[in-house]
Structure 1
Amino acid sequence: MPTHFSFRRCAPLLAAATALLGACQSNTSTTETTATTKPAAADSAAAKQPLSQPLVKDIYTADPSAHVFAGKIYIYPSHDIEAGIPENDKGDHFAMNDYHILSMDSVNGPVTDHGVGLAVKDIPWAGRQLWAPDAAFKNGTYYLYFPVKDKQDVFRIGVATSTSPSGPFKAEATPIAGSFSIDPAVFQDTDGNAYMYFGGLWGGQLQRWQTGKYDANAAEKEPSTAVPALNARVAKLSADMKHFDGPVQEVKILDEAGKPLLASDTKRRFFEGGWLHKYQGKYYFSYSTGDTHLLVYAVGDKPTGPFTYKGVIMEPVQGWTTHHSIVEVKGKWYIFYHDTQLSGKTWLRNIKVTELKRGADGSIETIVP
């Protein structure tokens, strides 16, 4: 399948072809509304399976973190905007400044936009770039975890709370101590313990934390040679879900021989967008390979790993980035993801959902968008 470079060359044509759709975009709505836009015609290029339709079309959304709370599906996505910033490998053009919280009573049912649940201006320590969030629920409180650059332009992870899954959320006064980089994903195990997975390369700054401290002079990108790859991080969360309860650890991803994946193994190594779910007693750590545009997974016996690489969940979508969540809804498993069907621009994305299917041995079938 063509890489993102083909799509990027075609972006102007795609953008022109979808100008009418893009014209209705707004990044200022805070009113609760229900999406009723009719699905667009399927792209004829998606011949291997029907093209999933964007869940919302009146705003641009990405990085969907989906959860079932009180029998309803809630989605916590990034809110893409047109900031007019040139593209670069640090991701400065992803200049999001708030979150809209969405919900559905059923998969592919009508989507309710509950408006802005949290904005940069409401986070005391924040500077800019409110990237991919996640959410959790415990003891009557909903928690929204978010990465944002602080006033020194260093990504940290914060937490905000609410009595409602739709917000609004109130941010804590400081970031989580010991947190860094991007893409927090929180997994709550059946024994009551909760873990946060986080990290992302290039603009996500993970490569700048190799010594345990932020190095502003570190390389913009990760090593590309045959050395062990830089991996996501994991930390156990405290009982109040607001702090780390113990040290930050590396999420080790191994090959079939039990050896660490290498930085040069770009089709399998971690890049960003980690997510953990549990299926039949096994822990599935899935993630984006970044510049090779795959969603892949590895399986382990413990929530902290190590995890053994198993295969591809989803082949490249339209657009540069790929980011997902996996959730069980009424006995079926679904993957929420994004592409750029509406805009043709890699920084103006739209979220989608499709069923996740498995083999009898628990292996995940590859999805070809």
Structure 2
Amino acid sequence: MPPITHVHEHLEQESRPLKRFVPPSLLTWHDNLKSIVVSNSPICSKICPEEGLNALNYTTAEAGNPFIEGWYADPDTAIYNDLYWIFPTSSLPYEQQTYLDAFSSPDLINWTKHPNILTVENVKWANKAVWAPAPAFVNGKYYLYFGANDIQEGEPEQGIIGGIGVAVADQPQGPYVDAIGKPLIGEYFNDAQPIDQDVFIDDDGQAYIYYGGHDHANVAKLNSDMISFGKFDDNTTFKEITPDKYVEGSQMIKKDGKYYFMWSEGGWTGPDYAVAYAIADSPLGPFETRGRILQQDNEIAKGSGHNGVIHIPGTDIYYITYHRRPLTETNQNHRVVCYDRMYFNSDGTIAPVNMLVKDNFADGDFVEWKTDGGVWGVVDQRLEVKSGSAAFAVQDTNFTNLVFDATVSVPGIANDTVSAGLVFRVNRASAGVAGFSGYYAGLSPSGILTLEAFESGNRTNHTSVAATFNTGVNIAVRVKAIGDSISIFLDDLETPKLSVSGASVINGTTGVATFGTDARFGSVSVAKASGT
């Protein structure tokens, strides 16, 4: 890297628990989304006192995206028994997609995995490509709608079985068993491949199923038994509602009397995969397309799409759940499940969703991080490393101009040759801490703030200033890198302690590192610098 010039010193951040579990008894809200009781009374009662809600008012998955571990896709959602549920596809080769897992959480932070809630052993006609589960709760029974076998046009006429199935269980974690012994939708209607279903229950108790692949979407009425279809006024069963650029991934929500139909467009293996939406005054349309709300971010993740929606009961807080592919992953099935905040504008339209990069380690885990050297773990909501040499933990991001906030805690030892801090604009992360290229802002326990440039693991530039901070406590550190200028802040996030210009303008990942000392890190937040 070229030398850093113009240094400016300024003298003065079975089910098994995946993550720590908060008992549901601590919660005060109650809701059953996608639920229906067949009676003359209203359905989907939502009770949500103001107390207990503040903890669910997030900007993103504050404990890090992906928020569950493993390769998953197509996450749909429900609220059952005071818990938020995620029902995803297992993102594997088609022949290995023979089961479904689910995840539940009281707070959208701590998640419990429920493995094998549905397997092909309980659906005799299914043998592969079990996709996109859609949950519903009706009359004391839990239903799960799913695609299976990836049926193609013309195959039903050849006797090949596949399509959308429905399974039923007595509890949300299953086991789910086939409800009818055959596909609920096993043919193409209006050219729609029978996959990627969503079940929506309107305020009047009428249930609808939205579905479709191969660029076509249908809606049908479900009868109160949830395993058969009603008829529309024109005596048809399947009504086409295909919006422009529709590909797959139907999703329906209702807000303030308006119906929001969402879908994915583009190819699921490519960079153009995205979520778009349309609005209507009726669950049957006509739908007015409003455009994309979620697409890949070249600094954070690629291939984002196939969404669900979480609504915090009694509030105007919404999250979009979706899958995406980490930037450095090349396997098309290596998809992960994430969520971010979804905001509505005053006119009822949906604002574009911003993927955010945060991790406060409140879930006791560090799913998104890759480590090299040292022994890493989460202690007291801090990422801790035990190391007597060099070690780092990096994310999978690709920022050039950034604002990187975190807390750093170093032990009180009188040694100015050791330090811990933040790495950014990191290239060659796969080469490990001994071979990476990029920048490092470190704190030495002896009271020194250092900015260093690395090339293939070798220090090429070194700039340091004296800094006053306490050891053994969390020090807020901010790195602001814009173009060839880099500023480092400590605690006072308005006035930099150290600024340089003439730095190499490169892009790369972000992370934390230590050189010769134990350390703890927390409250990580990385964002594109505003105005760049």
**Higher helix residue share:** 1
1:204-219 aligned at under 5 Å gives the runs: none
What corresponds to 1:145 in structure 2?
145
The yes-or-no answer on 1:199 pairing with 2:199 is no
Question: In structure 2, which of residues 310, 318, 325 is the aligned counterpart of residue 333 of structure 1?
Answer: 318
**2:121 aligns to what SS in structure 1?**
helix
What corresponds to 1:7 in structure 2?
none
Contact 1:252 1:305 in 2 (8 A): no
1:71-110 aligned at under 5 Å gives the runs: 71-81=82-92, 83=93, 92=94, 95-107=96-108, 109-110=109-110
RMSD: 2.4
* 1:342 positional shift: 8.8
The yes-or-no answer on 1:311 pairing with 2:283 is no
Question: In structure 2, which of residues 340, 361, 364 is the aligned counterpart of residue 354 of structure 1?
Answer: 340
Matched positions, count: 275
Q: State the TM-score, normalized to the length of structure 2.
A: 0.49
Amino acid at match of 1:305: G
Q: Deviations over 1:179-235 (max 9, x none)?
A: 55210100000000000011112xxxxxxxxxxxxxxxxxxxxxxxxxxxx431110
What corresponds to 2:487 in structure 1?
none
Which has more radius of gyration?
Answer: 2
Question: In structure 1, which of residues 283, 296, 301 is the aligned counterpart of residue 259 of structure 2?
Answer: 283
For 1:68 and 1:50, how far apart are their aligned partners in 2?
18
Question: In structure 2, which of residues 44, 51, 74 is the aligned counterpart of residue 63 of structure 1?
Answer: 74
Q: Deviations over 1:114-133 (max 9, x none)?
A: 11101123211113211111
* 1:167 positional shift: 1.0
What corresponds to 2:65 in structure 1?
53
Q: State the TM-score, normalized to the length of structure 1.
A: 0.69
Change (3 A) 1:153 1:290: farther
**1:128 aligns to what SS in structure 2?**
coil
Instruction: State, as a whole percentage, how many aligned pairs show the same letter.
Output: 31
**1:121 aligns to what SS in structure 2?**
helix
Amino acid at match of 1:141: K
Contact 2:276 2:293 in 1 (8 A): yes
For 2:327 and 2:224, how far apart are their aligned partners in 1?
41
Change (3 A) 1:284 1:315: same
Amino acid at match of 1:233: N
1:1-369 aligned at under 5 Å gives the runs: 31-36=14-19, 52-57=64-69, 59-81=70-92, 83=93, 92=94, 95-107=96-108, 109-149=109-149, 155-172=162-179, 173-177=181-185, 180=188, 181-201=194-214, 230-246=215-231, 247-253=237-243, 261=244, 269-291=245-267, 292-316=272-296, 318-320=301-303, 322-330=305-313, 331=315, 332-341=317-326, 344=329, 345-369=331-355
Contact 1:184 1:198 in 2 (8 A): yes
Q: Deviations over 1:268-291 (max 9, x none)?
A: x10000100001000000110123
**Higher strand residue share:** 2
Amino acid at match of 1:303: P
What corresponds to 2:417 in structure 1?
none
**1:288 aligns to what SS in structure 2?**
strand
**1:133 aligns to what SS in structure 2?**
strand
Q: Deviations over 1:65-107 (max 9, x none)?
A: 01112321011100123x4xxxxxxxx5x74111001101012
**1:231 aligns to what SS in structure 2?**
coil
Q: Which runs of 5+ in 1 are unaligned?
A: 1-30, 38-48, 84-91, 202-229, 254-260, 262-268
* 1:154 positional shift: 5.3
Contact 1:299 1:308 in 2 (8 A): yes
Amino acid at match of 1:329: I
What corresponds to 2:380 in structure 1?
none
For 1:106 and 1:290, how far apart are their aligned partners in 2?
33
Contact 1:178 1:248 in 2 (8 A): no
* 1:310 positional shift: 0.9
**2:290 aligns to what SS in structure 1?**
strand
For 2:78 and 2:61, how far apart are their aligned partners in 1?
24
For 2:139 and 2:280, how far apart are their aligned partners in 1?
28
Amino acid at match of 1:143: Y
Q: Which runs of 5+ in 2 are unaligned?
A: 1-13, 21-59, 189-193, 232-236, 356-532
Amino acid at match of 2:281: D
Change (3 A) 1:50 1:336: closer
Amino acid at match of 2:342: L
For 2:110 and 2:288, how far apart are their aligned partners in 1?
38
Which portions of structure 1, spanning 4 or more consecutive aligned residues, are displaced by more than 4 angstroms? 49-52, 150-154, 177-180
Change (3 A) 1:355 1:340: same
For 1:321 and 1:367, how far apart are their aligned partners in 2?
11
For 1:329 and 1:342, how far apart are their aligned partners in 2?
30
Q: Deviations over 1:148-169 (max 9, x none)?
A: 0179655411100011111110
For 2:84 and 2:61, how far apart are their aligned partners in 1?
23
What corresponds to 1:41 in structure 2?
none
* 1:340 positional shift: 2.1
